[in-house]
């Protein structure tokens, strides 16, 4: 007696076969035309008879056909491959998350997908991601390079890939750049501290290899100078832009014989790290120690007291960068643009 075995579709061993929903070929066959014509209606590139056009659209609908972006990308080397790369140093930093959101909005509207590369300020990792991105034939790239002298990225730019930098530029390279006026932002913060009577203002900076770190320190120094406060090297600590560096350097500073009365922190994560230290030392903000951070956070009001911070319009930066990139993809010869946005001091209660 024969036993009948039922093998449902989802279990039969077709797993190594293609999963794709039919090709243009099937659409063409069903509509009784050639694939060339199908391609034409899909990109409405050339005139095709209205009647056959409708027939093809019908076939597409019936077969739920979706063109393969992969094949398209392989075929038309440049331009409409509908894939962008985004290269950021640290997705844990809420600033980059917001930038990413801005990029994503533009990308989504323009039917672009995004390959996300988070290189953690590790140049080897960055290089490998750039290899991957090139090999993926992306249409364009938005990057916050590890340094201004990033050779690998510069070569990519020279090779003609549309690139827009955010937050950090690329020395001697023709790239669009969207960033804020770091120096002015830092100046505003420190100026505000001084005007509120603080005298011993410390600065916890980020990696010196990152341009914005340097510029923010310059802004810090300018403000001191303009108010005739001597620059005190003891009060400046440079770390590696991480949360942990904020914890550690704030601790060093606050345990000084003659500790600072105010802190200007160089980025988001440093600020949070410094706050941890301040609270663990049971210091009162702003009575014992005032603090202003570079980079605002959407939940700055959830901190206690609410954090005074230099706000970078992160979402806007991402959006602009996305727009610039899409422009450049369609017009690679357009001259480069450098957009410097305003960094705004959001005065709350920590100073």
Partner DNA sequence: GAATGTATCGAAAGCCTATTCAAAAAATTT
Partner DNA sequence: AAATTTTTTGAATAGGCTTTCGATACATTC
Site for its own copies in 265-284 (CB under 8 A): 272-273, 275-276, 279-280
279 interface partner picked from its own copies, DNA, none, CB below 5 to 8 A per type: its own copies
Q: Does 320 sit near its own copies (CB under 8 A)? A: no
- Segment near its own copies (CB under 8 A); pick from 27-35, 88-96, 230-238, 318-326: 88-96
Least distance to its own copies, CB of residue 230, Å:
31
14 interface partner picked from its own copies, DNA, none, CB below 5 to 8 A per type: its own copies
Q: What is the DSSP string of 193-206?
A: HHHTT--SEEEEE-
Least distance to its own copies, CB of residue 270, Å:
11
**328 — alpha (psi -120 to 50), left (phi > 0) or beta?**
alpha
219 vs 318 by CB, closer to its own copies: 318
43 vs 338 by CB, closer to DNA: 43
Residues 6 or more apart whose CB falls under 8 angstroms from that of 205 comprise 213, 216, 217, 236, 237, 238, 239, 266
208 vs 332 by CB, closer to its own copies: 332
Least distance to its own copies, CB of residue 185, Å:
21
2 vs 17 by CB, closer to DNA: 17
Draw the binding track, 284-313, toward its own copies (x: CB under 8 A; -: no contact): --------------xx-xxxxxx-------
301 vs 342 by CB, closer to its own copies: 301
346, β-bridge pairs: 309
Residue with tokens 């480069």: 336
Complete edge-to-edge strand list for the sheet that includes strand 262-265: 236-238, 201-205, 262-265, 290-294, 308-311, 344-346
184 vs 317 by CB, closer to its own copies: 317
Least distance to its own copies, CB of residue 84, Å:
10
Applying the rule CB under 8 A, the residues between 22 and 61 that interact with its own copies are none
212 vs 265 by CB, closer to its own copies: 265
Distance CA 238, CA 206 (A): 6
CA distances from 182 to 33, 59, 218, 310 (A): 59, 55, 9, 9
159 interface partner picked from its own copies, DNA, none, CB below 5 to 8 A per type: its own copies
Rounded to 5 degrees, φ, ψ at 318 are -60, -45
Q: Does 9 sit near its own copies (CB under 8 A)? A: yes
DSSP strand pairing (262-265 vs 290-294): parallel
Residues 6 or more apart whose CB falls under 8 angstroms from that of 58 comprise 31
Residues 6 or more apart whose CB falls under 8 angstroms from that of 198 comprise 261, 262, 290, 351
243 interface partner picked from DNA, its own copies, none, CB below 5 to 8 A per type: its own copies
Taken as a whole, the chain contains a residue count of 351
- Segment near its own copies (CB under 8 A); pick from 10-18, 31-39, 196-204, 215-223: 10-18
Q: Is 260 helix (H, G, I), strand (E, B) or coil?
A: coil
165, β-bridge pairs: 143, 177
Least distance to DNA, CB of residue 45, Å:
5
Among 4, 19, 172, 228, binds its own copies (CB under 8 A): 19
């Amino acid at each position: 007696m024969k036993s009948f075995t039922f093998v449902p579709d989802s279990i039969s061993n077709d797993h190594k076969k293609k999963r794709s929903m039919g090709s243009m070929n099937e659409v063409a066959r069903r509509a009784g035309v050639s694939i060339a014509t199908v391609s034409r209606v899909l990109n409405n590139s050339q005139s095709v008879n209205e009647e056959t056009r409708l027939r093809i659209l019908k076939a597409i609908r019936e077969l739920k056909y979706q063109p393969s972006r992969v094949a398209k990308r392989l075929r038309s080397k440049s331009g409409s491959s509908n894939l962008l790369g985004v290269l950021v140093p640290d997705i844990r930093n809420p600033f980059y998350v917001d930038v990413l959101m801005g990029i994503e909005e533009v990308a989504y509207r323009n039917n672009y997908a995004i390959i996300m590369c988070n290189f953690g300020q590790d140049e080897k990792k960055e290089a490998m991601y750039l290899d991957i991105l090139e090999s993926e034939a992306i249409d364009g790239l938005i990057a916050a390079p590890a340094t201004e002298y990033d050779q690998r990225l510069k070569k990519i730019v020279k090779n003609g890939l549309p690139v827009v930098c955010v937050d950090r530029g690329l020395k001697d390279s023709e790239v669009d750049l969207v960033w804020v006026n770091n120096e002015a932002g830092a100046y505003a913060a420190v100026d505000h501290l001084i005007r509120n009577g603080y005298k011993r203002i410390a600065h916890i900076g980020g990696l010196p290899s990152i341009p914005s770190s340097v510029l923010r320190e310059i802004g810090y120094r300018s403000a001191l100078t303009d108010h005739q406060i001597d620059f005190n090297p003891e009060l400046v600590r440079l770390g590696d832009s991480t949360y942990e560096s904020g914890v550690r350097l704030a601790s060093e500073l606050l345990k000084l014989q003659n500790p600072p009365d105010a802190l200007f922190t160089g980025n988001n994560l440093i600020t949070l790290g410094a706050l941890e230290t301040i609270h663990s030392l049971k210091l009162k903000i702003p009575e014992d120690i005032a603090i202003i951070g570079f980079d605002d956070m959407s939940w700055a009001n959830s901190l206690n007291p609410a954090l005074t911070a230099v706000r970078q319009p992160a979402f806007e930066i991402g959006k602009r960068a996305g727009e610039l990139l899409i422009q450049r993809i369609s017009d690679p010869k357009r001259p480069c643009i450098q957009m410097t946005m305003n960094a705004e001091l959001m005065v709350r209660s920590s100073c």
